[in-house]
Amino acid sequence: MACVRLTNLNKHYPGFHAVRDISVDIADGEFVVLVGPSGCGKSTTLRMIAGLEEVTSGDIFIGDRRVNDVAPAKRDVAMVFQNYALYPHMTVRKNLSFGLRMRRTPRPEIESRVAEASAMLGLDALLDRRPKELSGGQRQRVALGRAIVRQPQVFLFDEPLSNLDAKLRSETRTEIAALHRRLGTTMIYVTHDQVEAMTLGDRLVLMRDGVVQQAAPPLEVYHRPANRFVAAFIGSPAMNLFPGGVRGGQFRPDGSTNSVPMPGVADGPAVLGVRPEDLLIDGSGMPLAEGSLYGIEQLGHENLLHLNVGPTPCVVRTPLAPPGEPPARVRLSVGPGAVHLFAADDGGRRL
């Protein structure tokens, strides 16, 4: 097992600066998820850790060893890819044992490690099949098994669930979480899926345009997003963002006659963030605005109400019955502590 330290890591492709000065310390045994929209540089970062991309500048340490110039096979990491990368002509058993055979691991040890991984992932009945005789979920389990038998110091996952359907994705996600609990090995996991990020990570590293926006435990990112981008990226439906202004310690959304207290915040334009579940329709919070209802989605256990507040669309998530049919007028209020305030210009958190 090992910690992983990235210091001032940069990657320049010809004409493109893909990773910008990333510094992250990953503790021994930690499960860190690199998350962000497509093209933000998360795969490039992971591939640099794996040794599959050269580092332009900065350092990568695994344990106390600087690995910038260490060949991928010598880094003691195992990577699981989105497309499984299994050998099509080999059986599952051979796929699992291939890496160990290449390393000339003694045969009895290969057999015991394969048996252990196979039992852990429920592959026993599949050991003599070839990849084309497996479902997508089974193939991904074999890919996981192949990483496990190597007993690496660090596991690296590059969107391993992207090719699976929703149900299998959820099942395999649970398996990966269980694997981490059981093995306790450091894991670094890349995804653009916020549900995977929230449910798997001890800590999220949220990236945008090659820059780390926030590195914190999932619930901290959810409850205290560092900026407007993070606020909008984590959470589904996304956090509502009401443009408006602060005057005399009060924020008033554009198109509303109500305002909410913002003690100590300087006057000026700002954006108020409120999560859909924190917008209340029973009048029990601080009055925020009146909205015009234009859509209702009934999900059984809750309803999503789509409204416009002046020029701003917003979503309310509520267990309560819809307050009327479109275009009903709905009074919205917010609970104390449920508001986030961001700067209008750079989107940084103000309160």
Which range of residues in 13-21, 253-261, 273-281, 339-347 is near ligand ATP by CB under 6 A?
Answer: 13-21
**Residue choice 2, 40, 272, 314 for contact with ligand ATP (CB under 6 A):** 40
Question: Is 42 a binder of ligand ATP (CB under 6 A)?
Answer: yes
Which range of residues in 42-50, 89-97, 117-125, 169-177 is near ligand ATP by CB under 6 A?
Answer: 42-50
Strand partners, 316: 305
Kindly state the number of chain residues that form the binding site for ligand ATP, as judged by CB under 6 A: 12
Joined together, the tokens standing for residue 259 give 């305002």
**Residue choice 18, 62, 204, 339 for contact with ligand ATP (CB under 6 A):** 18
- Residue 63 · residue 3 · CB < 8 Å: yes
CB of 205 to ligand ATP, least distance (A): 12
**Residue choice 3, 21, 39, 151 for contact with ligand ATP (CB under 6 A):** 39
Cα dihedral across residues 77, 83, 84, 88: positive or negative: negative
Q: Name the residue nearer to ligand ATP (CB basis): 54 or 109.
A: 54
Question: Is 44 a binder of ligand ATP (CB under 6 A)?
Answer: yes
φ, ψ for residue 106, nearest 5 deg: -55, 145
Residue 26: strand, helix, or coil: strand
**Residue choice 38, 108, 264, 346 for contact with ligand ATP (CB under 6 A):** 38
Question: Is 16 a binder of ligand ATP (CB under 6 A)?
Answer: yes
**Residue choice 4, 9, 41, 307 for contact with ligand ATP (CB under 6 A):** 41
Q: How far apart are CA 341 and CA 325, in angstroms?
A: 31
Q: Name the residue nearer to ligand ATP (CB basis): 18 or 309.
A: 18
CA angle 248, 238, 210 (to 5 degrees): 95
CB of 11 to ligand ATP, least distance (A): 8
Touching ligand ATP, residues 309-348 (CB under 6 A):
none
Question: Is 160 a binder of ligand ATP (CB under 6 A)?
Answer: no
DSSP string, 154-186: EEEEESTTTTS-HHHHHHHHHHHHHHHHHH--E
Q: Name the residue nearer to ligand ATP (CB basis): 36 or 225.
A: 36
CB of 23 to ligand ATP, least distance (A): 17
CB of 210 to ligand ATP, least distance (A): 7
In what side-by-side order are the strands of the sheet with 303-309?
Answer: 279-280, 329-334, 286-298, 303-309, 312-318
Question: Is 244 a binder of ligand ATP (CB under 6 A)?
Answer: no
Q: How far apart are CA 348 and CA 230, in angstroms?
A: 10
CB of 16 to ligand ATP, least distance (A): 5
- Residue 230 · residue 221 · CB < 8 Å: yes
- Residue 163 · residue 190 · CB < 8 Å: no
Question: Is 83 a binder of ligand ATP (CB under 6 A)?
Answer: no
CB of 179 to ligand ATP, least distance (A): 23
Task: Give the DSSP letter of residue 131.
Answer: G
- Residue 227 · residue 214 · CB < 8 Å: yes
Residue 45 φ/ψ region, left for φ over 0, alpha for ψ in the -120 to 50 degree band, beta for the rest: alpha
Exposed e or buried b for every residue in 58-76, given b needs 16+ CB within 10 A? bebbbbeeebeeeeeeebb
Q: Which residue is nearest to ligand ATP (CB)?
A: 43
The 182-201 contact track toward ligand ATP, x by CB under 6 A, reads ----------x---------
Binding site residues, ligand ATP, CB under 6 A: 13, 16, 18, 36, 38-44, 192
